[in-house]
Structure formats: C-alpha cells, structure tokens
C-alpha cells in the first residue's frame, strides 16, 4: 500500500476520533468553528431543546457579517438594519452567544468582519486545523493548509454540541499551476480560469490541492482568493501547503501560537505537505503564463472568458441560452464595452487590504464614470482601519466611490446593499447567480483591478490599460 500521503490525508488522519467503516462515517474533530448570525439560530434552538451546552466555546469564533448594514455611521448604535427579520437575527445571535458563553465579535468590536476574513486576520486560521462554518466559502481557510469546508445548520448544531462532525472521506484533486501570472492578471483571474476549465461541478466530491510555482509565488491574500472559490467548482475544500509565506503572515497575530509555542508549531506545520509520489484521485496541470484578466458572462462562475476574447457560442444548450438571455449578453463578441451601472469591491473573495490597494491604484487620480455607482466594502473593521491609515478611503471617495463599514454586503445582498432589476454590476465577489445581488440584477465577476478599471471606463474594461 502506498504510504505516501497528500496534504489532505495528513490533516484528515490527524482529526479522526472514530474511523469510518463501510456502514458509518468517520467522527472528525473540529479545531475551529466560525459562526455568524444567518446559519446558526436554528442550531442554537436544537441545543436549547436538548438542554445541551456548547462543548468548546473556546474553539468558536463568532461574528456578525451577512445581514449587517455597511452604511457609514459615527456610532454603531445608529446602524439601520434592513428589516425586522435581520434585526431579530442579529439580536438572537447576541443573545445566543451570551447564553452559551461564546465571545462574539459584534458591533462594538474592532475585530468584527466577514467570517473568512477575520479567521486568518486574527491568526485563528492555522495550518493543519480542521475549520468549519455554516457558509460554503469556508474553503477560504484552506489557503493556510487547513482542511476547511462549509456545513449546513444541522451540522453547525453537531459541532456546537460535540466539536465533531460525521464525515465520509472525500477524494483528492491536484491542480498544478505552472509559470508566472502576467502583470494585471491576479489570483482572481486564475481561479476564474480554473473554474471555466473544470466546470462548476468539476470538483464535486473532491478536496482540491493547488500546487506549483504560480501558487507558491502568491501571497496569503491571493491564496485565500484561490481557495475561497473552490466551492464554485463544486469542491468540498481547497488547500495550499503552508510555507514560509504562511508562517510570516501568521507570526505575531493575536490568536496564532505565541513566542514559546511558535517554533514547535512551525516544525509541526513543516510536515504538512504532500509527500513526493503521493497519489491524487484526479490531477490537471495548467500554465499561468498565458492567462489574461477574466470576466464572467453568464449566471455561474464557470461561464467565464478572457477580457478580450469573444463570448463563446453554446446556444444549442437551453441552459446556456437562458443564462445569456438573463444577462443580455451576445455571443461572438468580447465583454469589454458593455455599459455598467455598479461596481462592487468586497466579499470574502476580494476585500482584503491588497485587493483594496490594487483597486485604489487603478482609480487614484481618476474619476469614476458618470452614472456608475461604486461601493468599496472592506472585509473587516481591521482592514477598514488599515486602508484608512494608507489613505485608500480618500482615494476611493475622491474618485466618487462609497466607502463602507465591513460586511458581506452586495455579495449576497441580504443587508439591503443590492443592485436593481436589470442593472449590470462588475463585482469582485464569487457568485454571478441569477438574482444573487438583487432581484433581476446582472453580475459580472472580475478581479479588483478589472472592477476598478470598469468603474473608471463606465463599461467593462481591461485593467491593463489603467496600470
């Protein structure tokens, strides 16, 4: 038997409480459980009904992000929540956390932000951990060599009560990316290209490991963008082996191992790589060198095209035709030139400081086009402050953009930040599903640079013309 293991195998094996059998799934221990207001209330109700405590409140990281307003206010007490339902959900979260002994990074916390932004930012996300959250973009944390995946609310209850989950071992999928990303082409473009290649169901049942020179060259924020969108290819999780870049990012963060524990942690983390010759269930190799900025043209993230390439003709497929009818996009011509209404810079995919910096570099000294609304929503309150310290807020506002408080905002459009019917948005988020950003709203997914360039041009634009 092949004893050589993948990164995934190592993390999986390290967390088996009870091994799986033909009849029963494994009991898998969870090291970090991140919770937010939208997918937890029903789970807390189950605990209450069964009179169960939260087993390890110290391993729960709780915040408010999904339905929270991002409108700028002088004090959080003035925040206007979109609906009574959302307000109730937020106060329920505050009540649940208080009752079950969980420390909530709420409105009064300088550390509040999007679940998948604050985990890494605080150093709670670490190599070799198992991390779950009632949110599919939990795959983000795999950028640190953690095994991280989204779960439903029933499973949120299981983890709260037992710190464990019932899981079948998924398959493994190696995506090797050789070469170097050209100027103006980012991690977002790379992951969109990958999803376009393997399809929105290409990763179903698998944990992807991203490997190769183009991946190891990425900084942590770019790696998070890659792993974040693994779920858009249907994958259970995405992982990248930790290395010096990972350790450097984590060193000194408040929830990372501290001075006396640091060396031991790093030597443990160094083992977290796929052994030479280990077998994956599936593997592909692609080159980053020839990539261009990518934009979506349809209603799923796999319907993607190079910024200067013509939208492909697949109209014989009724689902494809339906998507293009909805998007009001024509085949045979490129996406550049379509007039846009809104630009959204934000989400757990692209709301970190480097994302904001890249967008700011494009808009600096320029004005966004007449009639275009641009929202910039930092991923966390920490990022908001860091960006303000660099003066990015002023660059955005001088260009005519709105500078907001942190949250999921227009990525999921459940806090009131939405696009109107028929409006075309260039968005740095992760889903261009029908109606995702508002009823009848149309979404083009792109990198922060492409989104910013499009805001200036007033139409879908190639960011390389603005570098």
Partner 1 sequence: MKFISKFSSRTVVMPTTDIDTDQIIPARFLTTTSKEGLGRYVFHDLRFNADGSEKQNFVLNTPAAQGCGILVGGHNFGCGSSREHAPWALLDYGIRAVVSTAIADIFKTNSLKNGLIPVVVDQVTHETLLQNPGMELTIDLEARSLTLANGRSVEFPVGGFARYCLLAGIDQLGYLQQHLNSIARFEESRSWTP
- Kindly state the smallest distance separating residue 70's Cβ from partner 1, in Å: 15
Q: Does 357 engage in binding with partner 1 (CB under 8 A)?
A: no
Nearer Cβ to partner 1 (389/433): 433
- Kindly state the smallest distance separating residue 249's Cβ from partner 1, in Å: 18
- Kindly state the smallest distance separating residue 21's Cβ from partner 1, in Å: 9
Q: What are the Cα distances from residue 41, in Å, to 37, 60, 69, 105, 415?
A: 7, 15, 19, 16, 17
Kindly give, in sequence order, each residue whose CB lies less than 8 Å from that of residue 393, ignoring residues fewer than 6 positions away: 384, 387, 403
Q: Does 31 engage in binding with partner 1 (CB under 8 A)?
A: yes
Judge contact between 347 and 114, C-beta under 8 A. yes
Q: Does 322 engage in binding with partner 1 (CB under 8 A)?
A: yes
- Which two three-digit tokens encode residue 300? 């799923």
* Window 279 to 308, contacts with partner 1 (CB under 8 A): 300, 302
d(CA 230, CA 226): 7
Q: Does 431 engage in binding with partner 1 (CB under 8 A)?
A: yes
Nearer Cβ to partner 1 (234/346): 234
* Window 368 to 397, contacts with partner 1 (CB under 8 A): none
- Kindly state the smallest distance separating residue 365's Cβ from partner 1, in Å: 36
Selected range binding partner 1 among 171-179, 270-278, 395-403, 430-438, rule: CB under 8 A: 430-438
Q: Does 162 engage in binding with partner 1 (CB under 8 A)?
A: yes
2, 50, 277, 316: which one binds partner 1 (CB under 8 A)? 50
Q: Does 86 engage in binding with partner 1 (CB under 8 A)?
A: yes
* Window 176 to 215, contacts with partner 1 (CB under 8 A): 200-201, 204-205
Considering only CA atoms, which of 445, 427, 358, 444 is closest in space to residue 396? 358
57, 71, 79, 161: which one binds partner 1 (CB under 8 A)? 161
* Window 134 to 153, contacts with partner 1 (CB under 8 A): 134-136, 138, 150-153
Kindly give, in sequence order, each residue whose CB lies less than 8 Å from that of residue 312, ignoring residues fewer than 6 positions away: 305, 331
Q: Does 272 engage in binding with partner 1 (CB under 8 A)?
A: no
d(CA 452, CA 356): 10
Nearer Cβ to partner 1 (27/217): 27
Considering only CA atoms, which of 305, 309, 303 is closest in space to residue 323? 303
Q: Does 332 engage in binding with partner 1 (CB under 8 A)?
A: no
Pairing assessment for the beta strands 26-29 and 16-18 based on DSSP bridges: antiparallel
6, 39, 347, 406: which one binds partner 1 (CB under 8 A)? 39
23, 260, 276, 370: which one binds partner 1 (CB under 8 A)? 23
Exposure string for 435-454, b = 16+ CB within 10 A, e = fewer: bbbbeebbbbbbbbbbbbbb
Specify which residues 445 forms β-bridges with.
427
Specify which residues 286 forms β-bridges with.
177
* Window 223 to 262, contacts with partner 1 (CB under 8 A): 234, 236
Judge contact between 53 and 100, C-beta under 8 A. yes
Selected range binding partner 1 among 129-137, 270-278, 305-313, 360-368, rule: CB under 8 A: 129-137
Selected range binding partner 1 among 80-88, 276-284, 327-335, 372-380, rule: CB under 8 A: 80-88
Q: Does 13 engage in binding with partner 1 (CB under 8 A)?
A: no
d(CA 255, CA 59): 11
Q: Does 342 engage in binding with partner 1 (CB under 8 A)?
A: no
Q: What are the Cα distances from residue 82, in Å, to 90, 304, 439, 442?
A: 11, 32, 16, 22
Q: How many residues bind partner 1 (CB under 8 A)?
A: 74
d(CA 467, CA 458): 17
């Amino acid at each position: 038997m092949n004893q050589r293991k993948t990164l995934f195998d190592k993390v999986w094996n390290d967390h088996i409480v009870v091994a799986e059998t033909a009849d029963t799934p494994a009991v898998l221990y969870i090291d970090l459980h991140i919770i937010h207001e939208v997918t937890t209330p029903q789970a807390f109700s189950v605990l209450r009904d069964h009179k169960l405590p939260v087993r390890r409140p110290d391993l729960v990281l709780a915040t408010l992000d999904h339905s929270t307003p991002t409108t700028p206010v002088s004090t959080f007490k003035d925040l206007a929540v979109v609906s009574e339902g959302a307000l109730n959900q937020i106060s329920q979260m505050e009540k649940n956390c208080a009752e079950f002994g969980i420390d909530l990074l709420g409105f009064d916390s300088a550390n509040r932000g999007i679940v998948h932004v604050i985990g890494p930012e605080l150093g709670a996300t670490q190599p070799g951990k198992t991390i779950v959250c009632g949110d599919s973009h939990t795959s983000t944390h795999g950028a640190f060599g953690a095994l991280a995946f989204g779960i439903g609310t029933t499973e949120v209850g299981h983890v709260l009560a037992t710190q464990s989950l019932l899981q079948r071992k998924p398959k493994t999928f190696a995506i090797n990316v050789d070469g170097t990303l050209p100027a103006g082409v980012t991690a977002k473009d790379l992951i969109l290209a990958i999803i376009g290649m393997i399809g929105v169901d290409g990763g179903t049942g698998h944990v992807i490991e991203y490997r190769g020179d183009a991946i190891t060259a990425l900084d942590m924020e770019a790696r998070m963008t890659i792993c974040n969108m693994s779920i858009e290819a249907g994958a259970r999780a995405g992982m990248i082996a930790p290395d010096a870049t990972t350790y450097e990012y984590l060193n000194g963060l408040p929830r990372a191992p501290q001075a006396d524990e640091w060396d031991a942690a790093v030597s443990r983390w160094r083992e977290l790589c796929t052994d030479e010759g280990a077998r994956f269930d599936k593997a592909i190799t692609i080159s980053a060198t020839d990539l261009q900025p990518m934009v979506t043209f349809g209603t799923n993230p796999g319907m993607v095209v190079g910024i200067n390439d013509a939208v492909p003709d697949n109209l014989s497929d009724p689902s494809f035709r339906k998507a293009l009818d909805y998007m009001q996009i024509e085949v045979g011509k490129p996406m550049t030139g379509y007039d846009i209404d809104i630009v959204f810079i934000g989400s757990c995919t692209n709301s970190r400081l480097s994302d904001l910096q890249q967008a700011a570099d494009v808009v600096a000294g320029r004005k966004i086009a007449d009639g275009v609304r641009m929202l910039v929503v930092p991923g966390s309150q920490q990022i908001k402050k860091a960006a303000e310290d660099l003066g990015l807020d002023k660059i955005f506002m001088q260009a005519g953009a709105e500078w907001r408080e942190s949250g999921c905002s227009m990525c999921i459009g459940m806090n009131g930040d939405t696009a109107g019917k028929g409006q075309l948005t260039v968005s740095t988020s992760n889903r261009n599903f029908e109606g995702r950003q508002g009823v009848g709203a149309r979404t083009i997914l792109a990198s922060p640079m492409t989104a910013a360039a499009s805001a200036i041009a007033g139409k879908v634009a190639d960011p390389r013309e603005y570098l």
